[in-house]
Amino acid sequence: MNNSYRKPGWLSFLILTFALPVLAQAPIIEGGQPDELRGVTKVFVDTSLDAQQRSVLVREIKKQLPNLEIVSRPEESDIHLRFSLRETRDGRTTGVGTVVKWIDANRARALCSFRDDLSPIYEQHSIKSYGIEYTMPLRFAREFVKAYKKANS
């Protein structure tokens, strides 16, 4: 077989090999301010696959901000609320929440963030009384509501 036929094929393969990872890069996250919550009317709540955490967040937000619409699809929202529980190296549980406003497909602004570390004593009480999956999302929802009310007052 003639080598001239193989070169374009290999060249195309190499270009795709290096171009695809660049195209699939994570979006740029810019720093934002909580006052950018002014005028927000639609919110997408993302707790990954944890329906209980999502339910806690949505219930608290709807209770305190009944006019704010919680949408089921991210592309329909003005902002995204993202919340997850993470376990630290020392075995403690941390709640991590972020309010994100998408500018376009490659840029987002982090308007505010939340981190909640429970002390081991409180964590044991929380798990027995309320469930840790309930306590931390509730705190995140309340912090979001406080920031939203301040920006829209």
Q: Where are the alpha helices (DSSP H) in the chain?
A: 3-23, 51-64, 120-129, 132-151
What's the confidence (pLDDT) of residue 129? Answer: 45
**What pLDDT is stored for residue 104 in this prediction?**
84
**Number of neighbours of residue 147 by Cβ within 10 angstroms:** 18
The pairing of strands 107-117 and 93-104 is antiparallel
Sorted by where each begins, the domain ranges of the chain are: 28-151
Considering the entire predicted model, what is its pTM? Answer: 0.74
Q: Which CATH superfamily is domain 28-151 in?
A: TolB, N-terminal domain (3.40.50.10070)
Q: What is the pLDDT along the chain (153 residues), one digit of tens a residue?
A: 555 445 555 555 555 555 555 555 677 888 899 999 999 999 999 998 889 899 999 999 999 999 999 999 999 999 999 999 888 788 778 889 999 998 888 889 999 999 887 655 554 444 444 555 578 888 899 999 999 999 999
